[in-house]
A and B are shown apart, each in its own frame.
Chain A
Amino acid sequence: MEEVDKKDINDLLKWKKIKPEVPELTGNISVPEIKLWASLDYKSQLLKQKDALKRLGLPSDGLVPDWKNKFLAKMGEMLKKYRSVRLFMDICVRCGACADKCHYFLGTKDPLNMPVARQELMRRVYRRYFTISGRLFGSRLGSADELDEEMLALWYTYFYQCSECRRCSVFCPYGIDTAEITMAAREILNSVGLVQKYTYEIVDKAQNIGNNLGMVPDAIVNSIEFVQDDLKEQTGIDIKIPIDEVGAEVLFVTPSADFFASPHIESLYGYAKVFHQAGISWTMSTYASEGGNFGLFSHNYNQMKIINKRIWDAAKELKVKRVVCGECGHMWRVLSSFSNTMWGPFDWLDQRYPAPQHICEFTLDLINSGAIKLDKTANDDLTVTFHDSCQVARGSELGGKIDGQFEIPRALIRECVNRFVDMHEDTIREKTYCCGAGQGLLGDDMLPLRVKGAMPRMQALKRVKDSHDVNFLALICAICKAQMSKIFPLYGYPMEEVGGILQLVSRSIVLRNKEGV
């Protein structure tokens, strides 16, 4: 590996303002020639706010003095707690099958963004300090490296250029999942005091205030009232968004961005209309006002568990029979795959339905049973394609089917629109490309990286735009929505062409005032 100029750690980690360069859209995704250090300057800002760091139980004075020992101790802990991390350190053969599969490599050309090279950053330290040959011969035997400040800076840089999207894992012959390694690496960096601002500001807010945006309960209630007024104005019907209602049938959780961000709020209209029209009583919760769980982004089990607790508690407190989740990728992964392990099964809920249930499963069931009706012609101005949000696509099943997470959203879209077309098969379903901002990379400080990371998705989109005049990209992830609506204008597309599937439902659902309502 080439040497970086010897510098102080603070220089190495300094955030620089970089003007985003927008890749040219050709409609093709080609594998670039590698360009050394091409994205070395894309750093996330560090969290410096002492009280937040203290609340998180993290070092609050920057890099801790005896960081090397702390680092190795934490790394040893990760290797003892996560079989994935331990095994993946040992079995990579450097075949390179994953090398051209990462959107950040394709976008930046930086070889350290090849999944295997990213993993090797950890393996170099692993070989030096955790294997027999490293202990005997130090870093002399090649491919092992001393843990020094430069290595630390490389870790902070490149483990915050991975969106933990797991695309590489699909292609690796041994299923090596770089996301697992990135999560461990971030936890190790946290333990020595290199804490990323974007993610951990939000973890702090989620733990203490209850949602990622830091909205206090009154603000939530206000914005919900605002949405209700909007709905009334749009439809002429009183569509309620109940909040903290004990005894409702369904507890609904969704990312807090859905309360007012655009285009997220359009999906909130959709959720409300679906519940209203199906006549199912539901409630949101001020205590569990966030579906997202940024605790997932590093291997810190308790952090994720604390945030997840709110949903579990709220379901009990509000005495609901079902839990339904809105549109969010990583939130769905945590709730469907991990919540059961963390807090046990939702076994007191109505067992006729999956618990928790995804809004796409929920809505499609209602359509199939005839409880709600859609009028596709309402969306006749749209030709729609679908971005499989990767945490859903590569997370777990939907609808109890092995490919339900691909088919159910598509089936739902087809119920909403007359014209649907898929992007190139190498860019969707299990092989979907991340939007380029997932798992902690959505901060404005990371915009230059985000623009490049979005390149593969934008190329695939460009192709169907050219061939089929696609003018709407449907997604089921709050982060994807925020990223795409920001990135679209930079690539020359209007931001209104991005939105949730429930936005399509919202536009096409046939509403009528129920008797007595």
Chain B
Amino acid sequence: MTASSADKRKADLKVIILGDFAVGKTSLICRYIEGKFRAHETTIGAAFFLKQWGSYNVAVWDTAGDEKYTGLQSFYCRNAGAAILAFDLNHESSFESLWARFLPLLDNANEDCLKVVVGTKLDMLQPGSREVTQEEARRFAREINSNLDQKKLDRDPYFETSSKTGMNVTEMFEFIYQYCLPLSEDKKISSLATKRTSASTSTVDLNKPAVSAPQRTKCCFR
């Protein structure tokens, strides 16, 4: 691994996605990352992807299929700056799962984690097939974010997307970045600094032994 890759490996923002099995989480991420709809069978995804947005590295985590039969690991949500709560517009039960199963998991995310509610498979809506109204989803999105700075939220964190047509997918991710990542460089430093004070300051990168150590320490007993 090159030195530069080691430096780059830490992400500035962790985005996770939660939601019932087969609501279209992996498709959504693929559409965004690859710009393409993969009509794949439900697959087991990569652990996470890194996306560059301006000078930032954003890690987008997908569930690893481990949610199919059971809860996710608490550590999936650790330190997440934004969580996408995905449900299928055509299945009310997937909407109910969001607060029943997935909101509790977010205890492990950042306290100020942005929660974006996303209704998926917009293209599959037929007249009469919609099971969750825009209004109730919007209200839900507003409520679960009431702890956040409302001035920073310029709209309700609710989107209806289609991974097939690409409708609203990029917009949704852009919204997350606009909220979570400060635009100018100097703001970046202070804000990221505060974000990370509690958690990841001065944690050890196991791949980087203490090469920069002062000489005296380096020669310990060698």
Real complex partners, A and B? no
B-side residues, CB < 8 A to A, are none
